[in-house]
Amino acid sequence: MEAVKQVRAYDRIYINGKWVESGTSEKLQVIDSTSEEVMGVVPDATVEDVNAAVAAAKSAFEAWSQTTVEERSEYLSKIAAKLAERKAEIAAVIAAEVGMPLPLATSVQAGLPVAMMNYYAKLIKEYQFEERIGNSLVVKEPVGVVGCITPWNFPLHQIVCKVAPALAAGCSIVLKPSEVAPLTAFILAEIIDEVGLPAGVFNLVPGRGVPVGEAIAAHPDVDMVSFTGSTRAGRRISELAAQTVKRVALELGGKSANIILDDADFERAVRSGVSNCYFNSGQTCSAWTRMLVPKAKMQDAVRIAKEAAEKFTLGDPREGKAKLGPLVSDVQRERVRTYIRKGIEEGATLVTGGPEPPEGLQKGYFVKPTVFADVRCDMTIAQEEIFGPVLCIIPYEDEDDAVRIANSTIYGLAGAVWSADVERAKRVARRLRTGQVDINGGSFNMTAPFGGYKQSGHGREMGKYGLEEYLEIKSMQF
């Protein structure tokens, strides 16, 4: 925790293997979500900085793309080892930036990036980059210069989900982390510099979506953009990228449905649903924010959800005692409280929580863990992504009605189905228009593809599918 008590001041950006001055003296302040004090400062980069980073990446690409699988694997392994060495520091930074309780930040926010780097280091040594089909040799080659634009809710994990497979594929990178939580991107850049990755292969350009993110998306020498964030921003990325017909991978919003069928272990399903919804204070795009229950069991669901929600204590995430920390910013806190008020106005039943500040927490961007019952599909809180600890319980008539409700939003990122009959659960899961479905609490699998249908985006991250996002396919006929 000592690592985040002092202000981390970065006055340079990382381009072409060197820490260089930005084209502006403007700075971005990083705010501790619990103390509401400045915990870090980074440069607010410019379009000119983006141009320099892209030029460096383009220059480095040819040599990097021709390196052997073994060379690239070794670099990834070295980066993973250094990330592991700084795991406690990374967890402390993210607990302060984002608000995830320190024990979870250690295992998830700091642990997953290490595992992901090691996974791709191993995968590329096993992956078949060439295949004979008749008289053709089909080869998979790196797509080129990749612009990575990442969010604040899992700041380092989401970076590594792009950087690790892109490097493994042989691509060069220009990274723009979220301006809200950019500090671990600088730690990663320090590590990449330390292990001696060739100059220009990785470049870090912090800044706001406008102008930095837009400059990356529009740049003619960027061959691909991989973006994780809001659906609104994803639409804008697509518009800009279309001008140069570059490849775009998008992982956007979600409004995931948790379908609890009438034969499920109801107590377990409801309690697990609440925990999933509140993970990372609800700041998770794949969170099961809509709990669909049989109409006849509505009151049971409400009782169990209320008991479960009220056990989610609020407090300083760095102390490791509370189950929920604050939201990431004042803007996000007010957004979530506005949705809670909207739910009340539109007639949903407030079971627990609410928009009022929690007692005893004068500082920090805290929101009470909230549960709504009797939510209708046409309500705002049932359709729009809230990104906070807010659960909507929605009744359904029968299995077909549950599927209809689950598929009734613009999103299709994740979901869940609970049933005593696994085959029945799988049958329902196949009907959901969504990229991932957990059956009876199936655990997270980082080697499985992650991504969405509909306006939750396109493309997949993680596993071999994540690697293939960064590969072009060429056939050579003999």
Q: How far apart are CA 38 and CA 5, in angstroms?
A: 10
Main-chain dihedrals φ then ψ at residue 112, nearest 5 degrees: -60, -45
Six-digit token pair at 471?
């590969």
DSSP character at residue 373: E
Instruction: Pick the closest to residue 391 from 416, 420, 426 (CA basis).
Output: 416
Helix (H) or strand (E) holding 181: none
Walk along the chain (478 residues) and give the pLDDT tens digit of each residue: 344 468 999 999 999 999 999 999 999 999 999 999 999 999 999 999 999 999 999 999 999 999 999 999 999 999 999 999 999 999 999 999 999 999 999 999 999 999 999 999 999 999 999 999 999 999 999 999 999 999 999 999 999 999 999 999 999 999 999 999 999 999 999 999 999 999 999 999 999 999 999 999 999 999 999 999 999 999 999 999 999 999 999 999 999 999 999 999 999 999 999 999 999 999 999 999 999 999 999 999 999 999 999 999 999 998 988 999 999 999 999 999 999 999 999 999 999 999 999 999 989 999 999 999 999 999 999 999 999 999 999 999 999 999 999 999 999 999 999 999 999 999 999 999 999 999 999 999 999 999 999 999 999 999 999 999 999 999 999 9
Using DSSP, state whether 240 is helix, strand or coil: helix
Please state the length of the chain: 478
Confidence at residue 100, expressed as pLDDT on a 0 to 100 scale: 96
Q: Which amino acid is at 433?
A: R
- Residue 358, preceding peptide bond in cis (omega within 30° of 0): no
H-helix or E-strand spanning residue 447: none
Of residues 251, 385, 461, 469, which has the active-site annotation?
251
3-state secondary structure of 6: coil
Could you count the other beta carbons within 10 Å of the beta carbon of residue 310?
15
Domains and CATH numbers, the chain: 2-252+456-477 (3.40.605.10), 257-446 (3.40.309.10)
Rg (C-alpha) for the chain, rounded Å, is 22
What pLDDT is recorded for position 14?
98
pLDDT at 477: 98
Residues 8 and 29: their CA atoms lie apart, in Å, by 10
Distance (Å, whole) CA 13 – CA 44: 9
C-alpha to C-alpha distance for 438 and 417, rounded to whole angstroms? 6
Question: How far, in Å, CA of 317 to CA of 103, rounded?
Answer: 9
- Number of helices followed by number of strands (H, E) in the chain: 16, 21
Distances (CA, A) of 467 to 119, 164, 325, 445, 459: 11, 9, 33, 16, 11
Q: Is the Cα dihedral 375, 379, 383, 388 positive or negative?
A: negative
User: Do the beta carbons of residue 254 and residue 414 sit within 8 Å?
Assistant: yes
Contact assessment for residue 116 and residue 446, using Cβ atoms and an 8 Å cutoff: yes
Does 377 qualify as catalytic in the annotation? no
Residue 3's pLDDT is what? 42
Answer yes or no: are the C-beta atoms of 437 and 416 closer than 8 Å: yes
pLDDT on residue 315: 96
CA–CA dist 49, 203 (Å, integer):
10
Residue 404, amino acid: R
Among 179, 285, 385, 469, the active-site one is 285
Separation between Cα atoms, residue 444 and residue 447, nearest integer Å: 9
277 is catalytic: no
Closest by Cα among 366, 374, 206 to 283: 366
DSSP 8-state assignment for residue 438: E
